[in-house]
Structure 1
Amino acid sequence: MRSRTTLAIAALCALLAAPAATAGRGPAPADFDALADIGARVERIEQYDDGTGGIHAVIAHSHTAGFAAREQVGVGILKGRSVLVKDNIETEEWPTTAGSLALAENFTRRDAPLIARLRRNGGVVLGKTNLSEWANIRSNDSTSGWSAVGGLTRNPHAIDRNACGSSSGSGAAVAAGMAWGAIGTETNGSITCPASVNGIVGFKPSVGIVSRTHIVPISVSQDTAGPMTRTVHDAALLLSAIAGEDPADPATLGAERVADYAEGLDEASLEGVRIGVLRRQAGERADVRALFDAALADLERAGAVLVEVDYETPDDFWASTLPVLLHELREGMDAYLAGLPGERGPRSLADVVAFNRAERERELRWFGQDLFERALETTDRAQYEGHLEKIRRMTREEGIDRLLAEHDVRFLVAPTTGPAWTTDLVNGDSFAGRIGAGYLAAIAGYPHLTVPMGAVERLPVGLSIMGARWTDHAVLKAGAAYERARTAVLPEPSFKRWKAD
């Protein structure tokens, strides 16, 4: 079931007095018109989001966003720009559901600290976006972009293709021009994958740059929110608006931030910058490798010095990753649910499991909750700490840090993932080609930027740029420099089913 409040017709007419803003790919002009932009974005939502052919990226949007934009004109660094928020992040206007019917009435009436910062910096919260239910941690056999609350998010470049998860709605909505920017969350690939397959920019900051308080949790060691936009400049601007210290989130204390992540992006250069090329992580698909080669050629023309980096994931690595997530999921979810205001709704992960069983027809039709059930049994603290130490060491000291130091490079690059696959609710997701290395940055808690680098048969593919911890600003600068050097022609959404020429 989908709920939506819509902008009043009279207010919309007043807001559309100025020419509609376009969803361009360059930095917003100095004379940005927030009132006209809000009206245009609402029109895009109502034109492309609902109905049988809609992309179902937005769960709810505001009927007062235009008035909020009028109040925010000239305020802070965002000056009334519209932002959609993934529906696992609390905002005072709407329930925060994480896509689950168990939280359908989760009206906390509070803003997450990052949302409070967004508003203080002039951002207008336009609405909430759909997501993979519970941020895609419920089952190994899930279909990305599906939730019981929001239905199935479709990729605007090909509506029969997947929008990836878990920030599927945020990625699809920005690609479709439904907001200037969106906020996603990532544990492992949930910002970068949907950004890549929807043809937009996504930035997963170092863990600790942005507060996680009042966000439905998975992993205290990996979770972070981050910006999803059309350009690197806009991602940096949005990050500047939401970043900051939070006494309730220890990871944010002592984080190395800069005041303005957009500063210096327009002049950033790759001249003489050594960049490590993760060739193995380009995967086995010739078409994706060809796109990657073209992106590497652009980097070289921009002055970068490319260095081949041969990296292979240790054989015993993956066996330790899931136990960490499941242990942290159980502890974090229990604490979050127990602390919710009011008396209604689940108070523990066990309550959610019981709710899903009672609502099997609505919640478990397409895939189960095997990971939730396993998390309830993952209680050995000593074993968890051993696994956590191991995977942090393998992704930090023996992973990104070692690769940067041994090869004397500032960044690592690889394709982010492959092109979007055909959505199949019966069989679940179909990741193919062994493409990408974003798991290194995700588990290490280091910055990871994806920037569009072209398309395979009109299906977007992104370029990943990763760096050391707290080098977020430098990674964004590198992304902006690549963006200017990029020669690939980027596709625009068709809002149709994919078919061969």
Structure 2
Amino acid sequence: MRVSIVAAALSLAAMPIAAHAQSADIVLKELPPTALKVGEKSIEELQAMLATGELTSEQLVQGYLERIRMMDRAGPSLRSVIAINPKALEQAKKADRDRRLRIARGPLFGIPVLIKDNIETAENATTAGSLALKDNVTGRDAPLVARLRAAGAIILGKTNLSEWANIRDNDSMSGWSAVGGLVRNPYALDRTACGSSSGTGSAIAASLGAVGVGTETDGSVVCPSSINGLVGLKPTLGAISRTHVVPISHSQDTPGPMARSVKDAAALFSGMIGTDPADAATKEADAKREALTPDWTKASLKGVKLAVLRPQMGAALAAQFDAQLAVLKAQGAELIPVERPATEGLGEAEFNVLLMELKSDLAAYLATTPDSVKIRTLADAIAFNKANADTELRYFAQSTFEAAEATGGTADPKYAEARAKSLKLASEAVDAMLAKAGAAAIVTPSYGMAWLSDPVYGDQFNGPSASQLPAVSGYPHLTVPMGLVKGLPAGLSFIGAKWTDARLLELGYAYEQASKARVAPTYPATVTQGGGLDGVR
């Protein structure tokens, strides 16, 4: 039986923020002792507590469940968790038994993990936020989930997301789904948690789980990580299987880890890496495991060349970026300015690829779902939304779905040309910047800061975005917190060549330890530090 944390169709307007928003002091004061113990704890700290018996895995799961109950459903009402795994406590008890028998091993053993609700887990429905998939209980684990279980991780539950991973409409409101309602940002409840891995971003920032899995097509791991003050890795495409993940694009989709620290993200990433015979893109993953595993003894910036890409941005974000460049330089990095090469036509080519792959890839996925799922094609999903417009189309339409349906899918004669063009432009742009600087990585601001959640006008993106080139090329992209700008988190991106994920993690860790920039959330109703500039309005 599925245990739901949020109602099937929470309304954005169900309760004004001011009526239930609480300060961090009030929220934390009301949390039970176990729930307080797990807050802001790293995997390493949790493992130490488990090893000494200060906590059991059962108590650890209970602590996160208490936080979810008091902070996700009540308190700040983050709406970041869609469903709890009904077997989570049972799995925790087994982990405790195994630990007593001294067969516990690995950093993830006995650690609760949250999974984005477009990734299949055996115990829960996988909805992608859509009521059309509310009965999509497949009874199977995505291979990445199976790998996490094999590493000893406890699947705590499923996180909310931008419905259909934010591909339904050009004017969508990130973080909203018909199943889960609107995810709120723990740093300012009236601000976006970005998308599409909105729930994972908000939940992990609020310590509703130890770590969480998101997915990205273009920005859906790095944006919610940056905007929720997290570390997020969009890995090299092919490092992690996409089988049994509700798709948009086989050319760009990839799961990725989201965490409060670089080492936690690396531990979760390591647990998901692997070749999957059903996903041809992963054929090199097993052989590349060493290249994907960081060596923390090499986590130094001394003598490392970094290409600095400075996009157009507001004064406050620019000042924060400059301060972080100073941190990198103080650690011995050589900073070499670069400019983004011309990529005319990249946006159009990428969008066309996404439209055509969405039509074909979604149909292929839906064909594998149980009879309880009544849609089998994108056209069926469009029809379902129209028939259920009062819930599905309440805040925005489905223009992107309709544009995708109008294509010929991957059989369209324009498809191969569009993919070849987008891949060439994106790959050559990253390669050129790295080569010009002789750099190990490109550093640049990840995104602007969180904008207001707006059901009328949808997303109001502001400031820079670093996601497109690594997303289209399939190259790795790591974002690490670089502190608060006017009370809202911002992220510093490290972008590298294919299969250099481990090096990015090493560099990101060195920066993280030098900067100590991450600030825990305090759950205010809104930002109180200024406004109007840099999209903070």
Common topology (TM > 0.5)? yes
**1:318 Cα deviation after fit:** 1.5
**Contact 2:294 2:505 (C-alpha < 8 Å) held by counterparts:** no
Residues 99-151 of structure 1, C-alpha deviations (whole Å, 9 max, x = no match):
00000000101000000000000110000000000000000000000000000
- Matching residue's letter, 1:4: S
Residue 124, structure 1, aligned to residue 162, structure 2 = no
For structure 1, which runs of at least 5 residues remain unmatched after alignment?
7-14
**Contact 1:41 1:178 (C-alpha < 8 Å) held by counterparts:** yes
Task: Tell me the residue number matched to 2:302.
Answer: 271
- Matching residue's letter, 2:448: G
**Contact 2:162 2:197 (C-alpha < 8 Å) held by counterparts:** yes
Residue 297, structure 1, aligned to residue 326, structure 2 = yes
Task: Tell me the residue number matched to 1:431.
Answer: 461
Residues 379-414 of structure 1, C-alpha deviations (whole Å, 9 max, x = no match):
162211111101101111x21112111221110011
* Separation in structure 2 between the aligned mates of residue 298 and residue 240 of structure 1, nearest angstrom: 28
- Matching residue's letter, 2:528: A
Task: Tell me the residue number matched to 2:93.
Answer: 70
Task: Tell me the residue number matched to 2:490.
Answer: 461
**1:26 Cα deviation after fit:** 8.0
**1:3 Cα deviation after fit:** 6.0
Residue 189, structure 1, aligned to residue 190, structure 2 = no
Aligned with 2:48: secondary structure?
coil
- Matching residue's letter, 1:99: G
- Matching residue's letter, 2:192: N
Aligned-residue sequence identity (percent) comes to 47
**1:189 Cα deviation after fit:** 0.2
* Separation in structure 2 between the aligned mates of residue 248 and residue 201 of structure 1, nearest angstrom: 29
- Residue number among 507, 510, 525 corresponding to 1:497 in the alignment: 525
- Residue number among 402, 415, 419 corresponding to 2:445 in the alignment: 415
TM-score, length-normalised on structure 2? 0.87
- Residue number among 226, 229, 232 corresponding to 1:199 in the alignment: 229
**1:265 Cα deviation after fit:** 2.3
**Contact 1:258 1:473 (C-alpha < 8 Å) held by counterparts:** no
**1:487 Cα deviation after fit:** 5.0
**1:415 Cα deviation after fit:** 0.5
- Residue number among 23, 47, 56 corresponding to 2:40 in the alignment: 23
Residue 44, structure 1, aligned to residue 61, structure 2 = no
**Contact 2:115 2:158 (C-alpha < 8 Å) held by counterparts:** yes
**Contact 1:26 1:231 (C-alpha < 8 Å) held by counterparts:** no
**1:30 Cα deviation after fit:** 4.8
Task: Tell me the residue number matched to 1:318.
Answer: 347
* Separation in structure 1 between the aligned mates of residue 437 and residue 380 of structure 2, nearest angstrom: 49
Q: CA RMSD in A?
A: 2.1
Aligned with 1:85: secondary structure?
strand
* Separation in structure 1 between the aligned mates of residue 380 and residue 509 of structure 2, nearest angstrom: 45
Task: Tell me the residue number matched to 2:415.
Answer: 384
Task: Tell me the residue number matched to 1:474.
Answer: 503
* Separation in structure 1 between the aligned mates of residue 206 and residue 75 of structure 2, nearest angstrom: 16
**1:28 Cα deviation after fit:** 3.0
For structure 2, which runs of at least 5 residues remain unmatched after alignment?
7-31, 51-56, 530-537
How many residues matched? 487
Alignment of 1:398-409 (within 5 A): 398-409=428-439
**1:267 Cα deviation after fit:** 4.9
Cα 1:229–1:19 change in 2 (3 A) is closer
Alignment of 1:237-252 (within 5 A): 237-252=267-282
Task: Tell me the residue number matched to 1:82.
Answer: 112
Aligned with 1:102: secondary structure?
helix
Residues 318-363 of structure 1, C-alpha deviations (whole Å, 9 max, x = no match):
1211110000000100111112133542111111011001001110
**Contact 1:160 1:497 (C-alpha < 8 Å) held by counterparts:** yes
* Separation in structure 2 between the aligned mates of residue 189 and residue 338 of structure 1, nearest angstrom: 27
* Separation in structure 2 between the aligned mates of residue 321 and residue 97 of structure 1, nearest angstrom: 26
Task: Tell me the residue number matched to 1:157.
Answer: 187
Task: Tell me the residue number matched to 1:395.
Answer: 426
**Contact 2:35 2:63 (C-alpha < 8 Å) held by counterparts:** no
Task: Tell me the residue number matched to 2:209.
Answer: 179
Task: Tell me the residue number matched to 1:374.
Answer: 403
Moved more, 259-268 or 375-384: 259-268
**Contact 1:414 1:436 (C-alpha < 8 Å) held by counterparts:** no
- Matching residue's letter, 1:47: M
TM-score, length-normalised on structure 1? 0.93
> Hey, which bits of structure 1, 4+ residues long, moved more than 6 A?
15-19
* Separation in structure 2 between the aligned mates of residue 36 and residue 67 of structure 1, nearest angstrom: 12
- Matching residue's letter, 2:320: L
- Residue number among 315, 338, 341 corresponding to 1:286 in the alignment: 315
Cα 1:499–1:207 change in 2 (3 A) is closer
* Separation in structure 1 between the aligned mates of residue 129 and residue 323 of structure 2, nearest angstrom: 38
* Separation in structure 1 between the aligned mates of residue 239 and residue 430 of structure 2, nearest angstrom: 19
* Separation in structure 1 between the aligned mates of residue 474 and residue 253 of structure 2, nearest angstrom: 8
**1:20 Cα deviation after fit:** 2.6
